Chains A and B, each alone.
Chain A
C-alpha cells in the first residue's frame, strides 16, 4: 500500500515535469486492463488476452493489444522487449513486484481483500489510477454516469415490481456437481445492493466473496431468486435433471441465466452485472415477492 502511494505520488509529481503521462502501459491483470480501458487508455499488452475476451467481455479489448503471457506467469522477457513506461498489476503478483520494478515502474493495485469493502475500494482505485494518468476529470464524469445508470436500473425494478422481489443469489457453475456462490463482499452482491435488492447467498466468504459448494447444496437457498452467470455449458445436463427441476427456486419460477459478465472486475463491472441481473429478473416467471403463483 505504501509503495502504491509512493508511486502515485511519483506519478503525480513526475508527470507535469515530463508533460506527457505514461503511454506504453502494460496490464498484468484483468482488473488493471479493465480500469485502463474505462479511463480511455489502450494498454500496450494484456495478460491472457484471448481469455479476457471470452470471460470479461466488457469493456471490450480493442484490436492490436498484444498478449503478455499468462496471468500467473507473465512473460518477463517479452515485457523487457516491449519497454513499457508503466505496468499495472492487481495484487496477484505481489511476489514478482521487485523483479517487475527492474523492468519498469509498477503500480500494484489491491482490489480484493477481506479487510475492506471491495466495491468501494474499486471506486477509490479507479480514481487513484485516473489521478496518476492525469485523467481525473474524465474519471469523475464516468463515475457520475455510473451512479446515474445504477439509479435508473433501481427505479426500473421498483416500478415494475412495486411489492418488491425476494432475495437474490448470483451463482456460477463449474461442473454438474460444483457451483460457486457470490456472498458477502463480492461484486455481484454489491450490484445486488446497488439495485436495492436483498442478497440471498449465505454469508461468510474469503477475499473475493465467493464460495464453492456442491450443486445439491443449492436446495438450501429455498425459493429466493437464483441467477446463474453464463456460460452454462459446464453444468451440462444438470439443467434438465429432475433434481434441478425439484429445486425450490426452480419450482417457484425464480431461476434465470444471465449473460457472461466478469464477477471479479473493477468498479464498472457493477454496472455490467446490474444490467445483466435486471435482464435476468425480468425474464423470471414469478419475480415478485409474495405467494407462489
Chain B
C-alpha cells in the first residue's frame, strides 16, 4: 500500500496538471495580465466587452458542461460495471449510448419539437430501448457473462448503422447533427449547464439507497438473493439511474465514447475498492478525462482555425488508452464454444435452394413510376445493373471468406473483419490517405487499404498473443479501432469540405459509382483469394483444431497462420477500398453456412461465400426499391439485413433452451 499510494497521487496530479495546462494555455500569450483579466471578469461579470462575453458565456459553460457530462458518463459506467459484475460493461460497450443517439437522430429528423422540448426523455427512451433489446438478446441471467458485452458491441454497431442511415438520407438536416454527433461541447450560453445540473445532481440521492444491495450483489446474484435481497427492484433502480445519466449526457452534448469505459477501469486500477470510492473516482476521472480531451480539441481547433469536435478528441485519446489497458489486462473471460445443430441433408438442400431462389427473385424486383414490377432486367437496364451487382456480390463473398478464415484461425465465433476492426483499419487508412494525397476516397485503391487492414491485424495479433486470444479482448480492440475511425471521420465531416457526401456514400457502402472495370477486378481478386483458401482448406481445419494438433499433423503453424492472416487482410482491404466498411456480413455468413449444413473448412468457405452473395443480392434489391426513386447504399442495407438476422438468431437461440 505504501508503494502504491505515491504513484497513485502522482497519477492524479499529472492528470489535473495536464488538464489545467491545456485550458490555461490559450490565455498565456498575454502573460499575467491575461490571468488578471480572467479574475476580473470572474469577479465583476462580463459587461459589454465581446472578449469577456465569449469567456463568460462560451468558455466557462463549456468547462462546466464538460465536467458534468464527464462525471455522469464515468459514474454511469461504474454503475453498469457494478450492476453486471462485468468489467467491460459500459454505456458504450452495451450499445445504450448508441440507442440514445439513434433516438436523438430520429427526433432531429421526424420530431424536432419533441427533441427541442424533451431531449432527456427522448434519449432515455432510446437508451432504455437498446437495453431492452440487449436483454432480449442475452437474458438477465447472463449479465456477468461475455455474451452481454459481445451482443452489446454488435448492438452498438447495428444502432450506429441505423443512425447513420437516417442521417445519410436527410443530409440537409444532418449537417448540424454530425458535428454534434461527435460530441461537440461548444457552448454559447449557460442553458445546457443549468439544464444538466439539476438532472444530474438530484438522482444522486438514490445512490445511498442502492449502496447496500449493490454491495451484496457483488457477492454474486445467488448470495444476494440468499440474504433476502429482492433483486429485481435494485437492478431496475441502478440500471435506470445509469441509463438516465447516459441519456442526459447524450442529450446535452451528443455521443462521446470511451469516457464511460475508461474512467471506471482506471478507477479500479488506481485502487478504488469500495463502492463509494469507485463512484467518486470514476466520476472524477470521467470529468477530468473529458475536459482534458476537450481542452486539446479547443487548442488544436485554434491552431487549425477550424472546429475540432470534442468527441473526436476523446476517441483519439480513448482508443489507444483502451488498447493499452487491454495490453496490461489479465484473465479476461473466454467465450464458451457452442455446439451447432446440423440439419439433415434433405433439409439443408431445401434451405439452400429456397435461399438461392429468393436471392435470384430479388434481381427481378423493380419499381417504376407506375408501381412495382417483377421483370428480368433487359439490355437497357442490365448494363447499368451488372457492375453494381457484381461488386456487391464479390464484396459479400470476400467478407464471408475473410470471416470464415478469421473465425477458424482465432478460434473465435465472433471474429470477422468488422467486429475485429480490420475493416475499420482499412477505412481509416483510406480516409487518411485521401486527406493527405488529395485523391478521392473511392480512388484510393487497395494498397493503402491493405496497409490499414494489415496494421489492424498486427495490433490484434500482438494483443491476442498476450491474452491467449481472448475473444472479448479482440472484440474490444475492434471496437476501439472503429471508434477511432468514427472520431476521425466526424472530424473530417465537421470541417465541411464539399466531398462530405462522397465520403459518406462510400462509408455507407454505395456501389453506385463502381465501374465495370473495378467490379471485375474485385470479383477476380476475391475469386483468387477464395481459390487459395480452398486449396489450403486442410491447413485451415487443422489450425482451427488447435496448434498442438496442427503441429502433430506436420503443419508449419507459424507460416500457415501468417499466410491466412495476410489473405484475410487482403480480402478486407480489397472489399473496403471499393465499398467501404460493410458490417455484419463477415460474421453472419460463416455461421449461417454452418447452420445450413456446411461443416468442413472447404464446405464452409464455399457455403459462406454463397450466403454472402445471396445476402448482397437481397440488400441490393432493398436499396433499389425501399425509398425509390432515391436509393440506399447496398453496404448499409446488407449491414441492417444481416444485423437484424443476427439479432433475431441470438434471440431465438436464447428462447430455445
Closest A residue to B48 by CB, please name it: A246
B307 within 8 A of A: yes
Whether the Cβ atoms of B54 and A95 lie closer than 8 Å is no
A218 to chain B, nearest CB (A): 10
User: Of B186-194, B340-348, B456-464, B565-573, which binds chain A?
Assistant: B186-194
Whether the Cβ atoms of A242 and B628 lie closer than 8 Å is no
CA distance A236 to B173 in the complex (A): 13
Whether the Cβ atoms of B186 and A212 lie closer than 8 Å is no
Whether the Cβ atoms of A243 and B58 lie closer than 8 Å is yes
B229 within 8 A of A: no
Whether the Cβ atoms of B366 and A102 lie closer than 8 Å is no
Closest B residue to A220 by CB, please name it: B50
Q: B502: which of A67, A68, A72, A76 is its contact (CB, 8 Å)? A: A72
B629 to chain A, nearest CB (A): 4
Whether the Cβ atoms of B498 and A70 lie closer than 8 Å is no
Q: If A55-B172, A216-B58 touch, does A68 touch B629 (CB 8 Å cutoff)?
A: yes
The B interface is mostly helix, strand or loop, or mixed, namely helix
A105 within 8 A of B: no
CA distance A259 to B139 in the complex (A): 54
Closest B residue to A55 by CB, please name it: B172
Q: If A77-B385, A236-B116, A246-B48 touch, does A241 touch B189 (CB 8 Å cutoff)?
A: yes
Q: A175: which of B179, B366, B381, B505 is its contact (CB, 8 Å)? A: B179
Number of A interface residues, CB 8 Å? 46
0 or 1 for each of A71-98: is its CB under 8 Å from B? (1 = yes): 0110111101100000000000001100
B363 to chain A, nearest CB (A): 12
Closest B residue to A76 by CB, please name it: B384
Contacts of B369 in A (CB 8 A): 66, 78, 81
B71 to chain A, nearest CB (A): 23
Q: A95: which of B513, B630, B631 is its contact (CB, 8 Å)? A: B513
CA distance A234 to B176 in the complex (A): 7
CA distance A179 to B385 in the complex (A): 40
CA distance A215 to B368 in the complex (A): 45
Contacts of B175 in A (CB 8 A): 174-175, 178
Whether the Cβ atoms of B383 and A96 lie closer than 8 Å is no
B418 within 8 A of A: no
Contacts of A67 in B (CB 8 A): 629-630
Contacts of B380 in A (CB 8 A): 80
Closest B residue to A175 by CB, please name it: B176
A214 within 8 A of B: yes
Whether the Cβ atoms of A216 and B180 lie closer than 8 Å is no
Whether the Cβ atoms of B186 and A70 lie closer than 8 Å is no
Interchain residue pairs A-B with the least CB separation, the first 5: A175-B176, A246-B53, A241-B189, A212-B496, A75-B629
CA distance A212 to B308 in the complex (A): 13
Whether the Cβ atoms of B501 and A177 lie closer than 8 Å is no
Whether the Cβ atoms of B502 and A238 lie closer than 8 Å is no
CA distance A206 to B497 in the complex (A): 10
Whether the Cβ atoms of B631 and A73 lie closer than 8 Å is yes
B512 within 8 A of A: yes
0 or 1 for each of B600-634: is its CB under 8 Å from A? (1 = yes): 00000000000000000000000010001111000
A71 to chain B, nearest CB (A): 8
0 or 1 for each of A195-235: is its CB under 8 Å from B? (1 = yes): 00000000000111000101110010000000000000110
Whether the Cβ atoms of A243 and B381 lie closer than 8 Å is no
Closest A residue to B301 by CB, please name it: A214
Whether the Cβ atoms of A238 and B188 lie closer than 8 Å is yes
B273 within 8 A of A: no
Contacts of A77 in B (CB 8 A): 366, 381, 384-385, 624
Q: A96: which of B53, B501, B513 is its contact (CB, 8 Å)? A: B513
B109 to chain A, nearest CB (A): 13
0 or 1 for each of B33-60: is its CB under 8 Å from A? (1 = yes): 0000000000000101010011011100
